[in-house]
Structure 1
Amino acid sequence: MLPDALRATLEQTLGTPLQSATAVGGGCIAHATRLDTAAGRFFLKYGEAEVARTFPAEARGLRALAAADALVIPEVIAQDAATPERPGYLVLSWIEPGPKTEAFWTALGEGLAQLHRVTGAAYGDHPDNVIGRLPQANPSKDDWPAFFRTARLAPQVQRARANGRWQAAWDAPLDALYRRLPELLPFDPPPSRLHGDLWSGNVLATADGRAALIDPAVYHGHRAADVAMTELFGGFEARFYEAYNAAWPLRDAYAQQRPIYNLYHLINHLNHFGTSYAARVARILQRFE
């Protein structure tokens, strides 16, 4: 049940009474709710101040993805911070779900390649945002390996050290990885517009078979970083990779780049969820001992 003050605010903002508010699955940080009104159906995320502080960045990211005109992206309807009287909220257009057919996976692969062809002026090149609930800085840099070290890996490592989740045995291989980044990652790939948090839970099939993206952590970077994350937790069918590579093939070096890019997400998960991710962090770092 929605808090009364939030319900009143939403009715005023949307200009219509709420007929129903139904909790939906998928959110692990904010409350996720389907709103039914006489004016149509909407998706609502809401939470107290610590949660709601992520909503402006999410709204900016969705608008950046929508501007690429490559995939279905929910429209940002309204967003506001928490107040003493009510939670903060983000209202989006509703995406009616459908099955993930072969045509869906083809559309997702082709659409992601199209998104990646939209480029920024530099790496980062987007307002700072969040990855999950943790900060993600996006300073503009012209050197991709330097960006990935200083704006992606290093902040997550620093956070893991501060909260006692980093292991001393990882220091030497991390230093070795840092030294080798300029040879392992391309110096100046096109600064593609990336979703930034591309696991299967952030990909939806629409009722009419199209592919949609939600919950972005947008920045500009090497496109292989987005594709790598699709392989981190699985859930993407072979047809997706075939369609992506038919539209814009990845180079042979992708296989050695993939674990480096996914190390960022694994340390982020280590910081979010604890030591259950330590073994996977260790396995990647062991490659550089």
Structure 2
Amino acid sequence: MTQPLIDSSDIAEIVRDGLGVAVSEAVELTGGGFAAVWRAALTDGRDVVVKVGPPQSARLLTYEAGMLPAEVEYYAMVRDLAPVPTVLAHSDNWIISTLLPGRPLTDGDSPSARQQLGAAVARVHGVTGPRFGYTGDRPAGADWPSAFDAMLTSLRSDAAVWGVPLPPLDGLVTRHHRLLASVTRPALLHFDLWDGNVLVGADGSLSGLVDGERYLYGDPLVDFVSPALFQRITPAHPFAAGYGVTSFTAEEEVRLALYRVYLYVLMLAEQPSRGMPLSGGRHDHVTGLLTAELAAL
């Protein structure tokens, strides 16, 4: 429901406005659920990616405000640290960027690419933000516990508005305040490192990292959740090995569990805006994982 209904003529108009070049062919890409993403071949020989954000009428989660401008910001910050697209032109609601080579990890595993992703993300985490949490008017805080609390509270409020049932979460941040407070530097986080956003070259190496619009600042461990989506990551995971992790302390394991909780709450809260039912396989699976993490905590 957040994806705009557009066609190849719309893509041609965007490219003409942004680059002053005509489009010879445009094909919609699949895999994402937020924006519309197209691959366009230009008459000057270039291939580009055109990403178009939700229509103004779309209802979004609170943290999703201004997502496409945020993606432009992320690529600018990490262009020398990770293989990300180059933004060629943009507006508040669309981005034209270079087309990176390769296929997503969803089309076939590559431990080498996962390890190189871990090394790249470690470099990105060296960037320190001005505050914890999201940018702009979105959930944030002066320290990590307050920012994480604001982020979780925002998702719970969104879920309530949409009528999405969640298990009890009261007091979760308060009970683990001390562990969250041990994070004192707001590292730059991608947050959406699932396999569909990681590109792999023909030789199995990392060729690209895309969809940086959900970036925020906080605990580096947040970025250890989505590379092992629906699992509990271990130091043996190629991403962790590439990052340089040899073990997780007991306190780090608790923080990882908190961040899995956050991701699962987000995945449940976003279902209505993505046109997904509040029952069925995906909903029940994520609810089961969330319940298990809360029980373990």
Shared fold per TM-score greater than 0.5:
yes
2:55 equivalent to 1:60: no
2:220 equivalent to 1:214: no
Shift of 1:278: 2.6
Q: Report how many aligned residue pairs link the two structures.
A: 267
1:15 is matched with 20
Provide TM-score, normalisation by structure 1. Answer: 0.79
Secondary structure class of the residue paired with 1:148: helix
Instruction: Name the CA distance, whole Å, in 1 between partners of 2:76 and 2:18.
Output: 22
Provide TM-score, normalisation by structure 2. Answer: 0.77
1:147 is matched with 147
2:56 is matched with 49
Instruction: Name the CA distance, whole Å, in 2 between partners of 1:25 and 1:106.
Output: 25
* Amino acid in structure 1 at the alignment position of 2:94: Y
Instruction: Name the CA distance, whole Å, in 2 between partners of 1:206 and 1:105.
Output: 12
Gaps of 5+ in 1: 82-87, 129-136
Alignment of 1:77-92 (within 5 A): 77-80=88-91, 88-92=93-97
Give the superposed CA RMSD.
3.1
CA contact (8 A) 1:35 1:43 kept: yes
2:290 to 278, 281, 285: 281
Shift of 1:78: 2.1
Secondary structure class of the residue paired with 2:225: helix
Out of 59-68 and 9-18, give the one that drifted further: 59-68
Gaps of 5+ in 2: 1-5, 272-277
Out of 235-244 and 198-207, give the one that drifted further: 235-244
2:179 equivalent to 1:180: no
* Amino acid in structure 1 at the alignment position of 2:123: Q
Out of 52-61 and 97-106, give the one that drifted further: 52-61
* Amino acid in structure 1 at the alignment position of 2:194: W
Shift of 1:15: 2.2
2:84 to 69, 73, 77: 73
Instruction: Name the CA distance, whole Å, in 2 between partners of 1:179 and 1:8.
Output: 51
Spell out, residue by residue over 1:219-268, the C-alpha distance to the aligned partner (whole angstroms, 9 max, x if none).
Answer: 1100001112322335998222111125x975442222112111111111
Q: Aligned pair in 2 of structure 1 residues 72, 66: CA closer, same or farther (>3 Å)?
A: farther
Q: Aligned pair in 2 of structure 1 residues 228, 6: CA closer, same or farther (>3 Å)?
A: closer
1:95 is matched with 100
Instruction: Name the CA distance, whole Å, in 1 between partners of 2:37 and 2:232.
Output: 22
Out of 40-49 and 95-104, give the one that drifted further: 95-104
Instruction: Name the CA distance, whole Å, in 1 between partners of 2:51 and 2:58.
Output: 10
Q: Aligned pair in 2 of structure 1 residues 42, 249: CA closer, same or farther (>3 Å)?
A: farther
Alignment of 1:219-234 (within 5 A): 219-233=216-230
Q: Percent identity?
A: 22
Instruction: Name the CA distance, whole Å, in 2 between partners of 1:196 and 1:226.
Output: 5
